[in-house]
Amino acid sequence: MPSLDDLRKRITSVKSTQKITKAMKMVAAAKLRKAQENAEKGRPYSEKMNNVILNLSKSITDKENAPKLLVGTGEEKVHLCIVLTADRGLCGGFNTNIIKKAKSYFEKIISENKTLKIITVGSKGYDQLKRQYKSYIVENISFKESKNINYFDADKVGKIIIEKFEKNEFDVCAIFYNKFKNVITQIPQEQQIVPLNEDKDDKDVSGNDNDYEFEPDEDEILSNLLPKNISTQIFKAMLENSASEQGSRMTAMDNATRNAGELVDRLTIEYNRSRQAAITKELIEIISGAESL
């Protein structure tokens, strides 16, 4: 049985924890709105980019000589995985979910005797993966210093990927991130970016066979465009990720605040009960002492 003093201390400590989680929740809520806005603002760019590439790849007749970034190297031996996570913890299952998704993919690759290479973006992903997959991690990138997500950072990652591709260091590249559905739901995503998988939702483009004029020719445009597309996809993933992170943190902190409240209630009852018990005990002692006189 904890003493009254112990209980009082615990209540104060839980209350101050609650204050912190509450503050974190509110900060996350404010950041979430901004991140969501940014994700929405960034959407037209990647959508348009996708459209243009779809239109272009349809008009390519000579599939054999098409850029490798689009059709692949023809092999599937080396897989490069880009795992995008947050730089900070305390956001519920956010990081763990991505890692879980990525790990199941890794296991598949390894069991098929293919080579695995991992690039982690964000320090939390690196922390969680280094124990098990340290030998596979080729690069660890973190943008802790940049305050906002910007295209410049995404472009850096994109350039690394292109560079590795040109050196024939991998055949297939996939990125892992959390897609923001709403504040409570974030869906871990696996998206292949090299070779470019034809999107399933290309319905609006397939209908109109626009004969485009290309200047210069298709191949040249594509080879210029595809590297940009990689950066764009990464940027999109980063935007989705940041919105998801804030959403996830908000729900996690909301839960924590509520749990702390419940704990305080329970502890307060316990405190009151034992205080009452102590008083009763004292009274009984006095009364029985008085009776014995």
Partner 1 sequence: MSNLFNIDIVNPEQSFLSKDNVFEVVIPAVEGEIGILKDHIPIISFLKPGIIRVFSGSEEQSFYVEDGIVEFKDNTLSVLTSSIFDLKDADKNFVSESISSAEAELSKDNIDDQKRFLLNHKVEVLKSISIN
Give whichever of 48 and 266 is closer to partner 1, judged by the CB atom.
Answer: 48
**Residue 74 contacts residue 106 (beta carbons within 8 Å):** no
Q: Which of 11, 53, 83, 91 is catalytic?
A: 91
Q: Any contact of residue 129 with partner 1 (CB under 8 A)?
A: no
Residues found in the chain:
293
Least Å from the CB of residue 246 to partner 1: 17
Least Å from the CB of residue 70 to partner 1: 15
Among 155, 190, 202, 270, binds partner 1 (CB under 8 A): 155
Give strand pairing partners of 137. 118
Q: Shortest CA distance to 191 belongs to which of 50, 96, 56, 61? A: 50
Least Å from the CB of residue 43 to partner 1: 9
Instruction: Identify the DSSP state of 136.
Output: G
Question: Edge-to-edge strand order for the sheet containing 115-121?
Answer: 137-141, 115-121, 78-84, 172-180, 186-194
Q: Which of residues 23-62 bind partner 1 (CB under 8 A)?
A: 38, 41-42, 44-46, 48-49, 51-52, 55-56
Among 12, 132, 150, 255, binds partner 1 (CB under 8 A): 150
The 200-239 site mask, x for binding partner 1 (CB under 8 A), equals ----------xxxxxxx----x--xx--x--xx--x----
Q: Any contact of residue 130 with partner 1 (CB under 8 A)?
A: no
Give whichever of 3 and 214 is closer to partner 1, judged by the CB atom.
Answer: 214
Q: What is the largest CA-CA distance in the chain?
A: 113
Q: Is 91 labeled as catalytic in the residue annotation?
A: yes
Q: Any contact of residue 159 with partner 1 (CB under 8 A)?
A: no
Give whichever of 51 and 192 is closer to partner 1, judged by the CB atom.
Answer: 51
How far is 49 from 232, CA to CA, in rounded Å? 8
- Chain mean position to CA 145: 18
How far is 181 from 189, CA to CA, in rounded Å? 11
Give whichever of 218 and 254 is closer to partner 1, judged by the CB atom.
Answer: 218
**Residue 133 contacts residue 118 (beta carbons within 8 Å):** yes
User: Which value, in Å, is the radius of gyration of the alpha carbons in the chain?
Assistant: 28
Give whichever of 85 and 232 is closer to partner 1, judged by the CB atom.
Answer: 232
Least Å from the CB of residue 196 to partner 1: 16
Least Å from the CB of residue 158 to partner 1: 11
Instruction: Give, for 221, the enclosing helix (H) or strand (E).
Output: helix 218-291
Least Å from the CB of residue 39 to partner 1: 11
Handedness of CA 105, 96, 38, 157 (dihedral sign): negative
| Long-range residue pairs from 202-207, CB within 8 A, at least 24 positions apart, any chain | 202/54, 205/51, 205/54, 205/55, 205/58
Q: Any contact of residue 104 with partner 1 (CB under 8 A)?
A: no
Give whichever of 212 and 269 is closer to partner 1, judged by the CB atom.
Answer: 212
**Residue 193 contacts residue 237 (beta carbons within 8 Å):** no
Active site residues: 91
Residues at the interface with partner 1 (CB under 8 A): 38, 41-42, 44-46, 48-49, 51-52, 55-56, 150-151, 154-155, 210-216, 221, 224-225, 228, 231-232, 235
